[in-house]
Amino acid sequence: IQVEKVSFVDSVFSLAQLPVGDLPEIAFAGRSNVGKSSLLNCLLRRKNLVKVSARPGKTQSLNFYLVGDQLHLVDLPGYGFARVDKRLQAKWQELITAYLETRPNLRCVVLIIDLRHALKESDRMLAGWLQAQGIPWLPVYTKKDKLSRNQQQRQARLLDAALGVSPKDRLLFSSLSGEGRQELLERLETYLMS
Ligand code: GDP
């Protein structure tokens, strides 16, 4: 995956607005504030391409980035922010669900989870739903630099058990140190080839 050439494509608010063509897409999902923007900026080696959100939970779109003329990275709106109006939340969910269910371009959903915390119900629900839909998904536990090595291992095991994944099927990540970056890029390559 060639991150030397990256550009913002579009903010999408409806299925009709989705980019045409058959470029493969990798979507990134996670609760608000989990570190998704930081992870994407780290992955793409950009400082502020993906805006680190000042106001979590405000109306958001599916944001498409073109990487190396080779694939689209799709930044999905963060979920699980309590202060968001219920109707608005339902509307986002409708768009995201429709996108995930119907998009032939989609190769994988990267599910970003904060390594420090127990699995949240919203994460469990999304993971279970992706699994049931047969959509490939990859858990990435981020903010690993905030924990000691022992704590990292302990937390990762708890999250593995809660998600029902084995250690080889997830990654630990730090946007601060870049740990896990190369591994994630390599893993994403395999989804592009399949
Ligand atoms: P988003 O809402 O999921 O896009 O989360 P952000 O990327 O905006 O990150 C939320 C907060 O966590 C910010 O203050 C980031 O600086 C911080 N953060 C994100 N990733 C990491 C990480 O890997 N390590 C550390 N130490 N802080 C992080």
Which one is predicted more confidently, 191 or 84? 191
Contact 143, 59 (CB under 8 A): no
- What amino acid occupies position 147? L
Q: Which tokens sit at 17?
A: 């607005």
For residue 21, the CA-to-ligand 1 centroid distance in Å is 32
Architecture of domain 6-193: 3-Layer(aba) Sandwich (3.40)
Work out the pLDDT band at 91, boundaries 50, 70, 90: confident
How does the average pLDDT of the chain come out, rounded? 91
Question: Cα–Cα distance between 29 and 161 in angstroms, integer?
Answer: 20
Which one is predicted more confidently, 125 or 87? 125
For residue 162, the CA-to-ligand 1 centroid distance in Å is 23
Q: Is 79 exposed, middle or buried (0-12, 13-18, 19+ CB in 10 A)?
A: buried
Note the pLDDT of residue 81. Answer: 65
Question: Cα–Cα distance between 172 and 54 in angstroms, integer?
Answer: 25
- pLDDT tens for each residue of 176-187: 999 999 999 999
Q: Which tokens sit at 175?
A: 């946007």
Ligand 1 nearest-atom number relative to CA 146: 26
Lowest mean pLDDT: which of 16-20, 77-81, 109-113, 160-164? Answer: 77-81
- What amino acid occupies position 146? K
Q: Could you tell me which of 144, 111, 121, 101 has the C-alpha nearest to residue 30?
A: 111
Residue nearest atom 24 in ligand 1 by C-alpha distance: 143
Note the pLDDT of residue 89. Answer: 72
Question: Cα–Cα distance between 177 and 175 in angstroms, integer?
Answer: 6
Residues with CB under 6 A from ligand 1: 30, 32-38, 52-53, 56, 78, 142-143, 145-146, 174-176
Residue nearest atom 17 in ligand 1 by C-alpha distance: 35
- pLDDT tens for each residue of 126-142: 999 999 999 999 999 99
Does the pLDDT of residue 171 top 60, yes or no?
A: yes
Probe residue for ligand 1, chosen from 175, 177, 184 as the CB with the greatest number of ligand atoms within 8 Å: 175
- pLDDT tens for each residue of 33-61: 999 999 999 999 998 888 765 555 555 78
What proportion of the chain, given as a percentage, has pLDDT over 90? 77
What proportion of the chain, given as a percentage, has pLDDT over 70? 93
Does the pLDDT of residue 63 top 70, yes or no?
A: yes
Q: Could you tell me which of 99, 54, 46 has the C-alpha nearest to residue 76?
A: 99
Which one is predicted more confidently, 88 or 177? 177
For residue 108, the CA-to-ligand 1 centroid distance in Å is 22
Question: Cα–Cα distance between 25 and 76 in angstroms, integer?
Answer: 12
Domain ranges of the chain: 6-193
CB atoms closer than 10 angstroms to residue 162: 15
Question: Cα–Cα distance between 52 and 187 in angstroms, integer?
Answer: 24
